[in-house]
């Protein structure tokens, strides 16, 4: 009779044939085996305490870095809100940020690509330098883009290992 295999991949369970069962009965080793693995082989696949400690240290460092990054993003958001509150101009005839008069006798102006307001070249940031038609952003929109890109970055926090190989972490 052929052996029956249950499961797939590395976690297969083999139903032993009659000859193997008779032999195991005589040796008193049990009635089934898990993919021909011995108990020693299964235990050697578990992580040692030193390996678990090293993994925990890496996880803790990653969590600390994530907290620091969240604090940095928080400071950027605060700075962005402060800039929005301190707007001095109307964005049409005056620079949106500093309030300087724009036009023939005033400073040269550029349009912010995102908010469509006028800003002077001192308060604007050239987002795509070296192109035929440069892309300008006001400082508020530039900060907004940075905050938006950082807040959507998938910060990695490893899941804690719980009850691995009999160890409680």
Chain segment 62-108, per-residue pLDDT in tens? 999 989 988 888 898 899 899 889 999 898 889 999 989 888 777 78
pLDDT tier for residue 27 given thresholds of 50, 70 and 90:
confident
Tokens of 33: 């085996």
The reported pLDDT for the residue numbered 128 is 79
The reported pLDDT for the residue numbered 145 is 87
- pLDDT averaged over every residue in the chain: 76
CB atoms within 10 A of CB 24: 15
Note the pTM of the prediction, 2 decimals: 0.54
Superfamily classification of domain 49-151: Zinc/RING finger domain, C3HC4 (zinc finger) (3.30.40.10)
The reported pLDDT for the residue numbered 12 is 62
Tokens of 114: 């995102």
Tokens of 95: 């620079």
Going from N- to C-terminal start, the domains of the chain cover 4-44, 49-151
Contacts of 168 (CB under 8 A, 6+ apart): 162
22-31, 49-58, 67-76, 108-117, range with the lowest pLDDT: 22-31
Say which residue the tokens 């009659």 belong to: 18
Question: End-to-end alpha-carbon separation of the chain, Å?
Answer: 46
Classify burial at 141, counting beta carbons within 10 Å of its beta carbon; exposed 0-12, middle 13-18, buried 19 or more. Answer: buried
In angstroms, what CA-CA distances link 66 with 59, 145, 158?
Answer: 10, 20, 11
Average pLDDT over residues 55-60: 93
Strands 13-15 and 109-111: unpaired
């Amino acid at each position: 009779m052929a052996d029956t295999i249950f499961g797939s991949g590395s976690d297969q369970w083999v139903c032993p044939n009659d000859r193997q069962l008779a032999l195991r009965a005589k040796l008193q080793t049990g009635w089934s085996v898990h993919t021909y693995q011995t108990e020693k082989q299964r235990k050697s696949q578990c992580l040692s305490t030193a390996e678990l400690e090293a993994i925990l240290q890496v996880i803790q460092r990653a969590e600390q870095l994530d907290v620091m990054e969240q604090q940095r993003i928080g400071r950027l958001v605060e700075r962005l809100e402060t800039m929005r509150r301190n707007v001095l101009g109307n964005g049409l005839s005056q620079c949106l940020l500093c309030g300087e008069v724009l036009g023939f006798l005033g400073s040269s102006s550029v349009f912010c690509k995102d908010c469509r307001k006028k800003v002077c070249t001192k308060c604007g940031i050239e987002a795509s330098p070296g192109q035929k038609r440069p892309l300008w952003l006001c400082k508020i929109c530039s900060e907004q883009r940075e905050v938006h890109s950082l807040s959507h970055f998938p910060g990695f926090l490893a899941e804690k290992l719980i009850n691995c190989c009999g160890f409680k972490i």
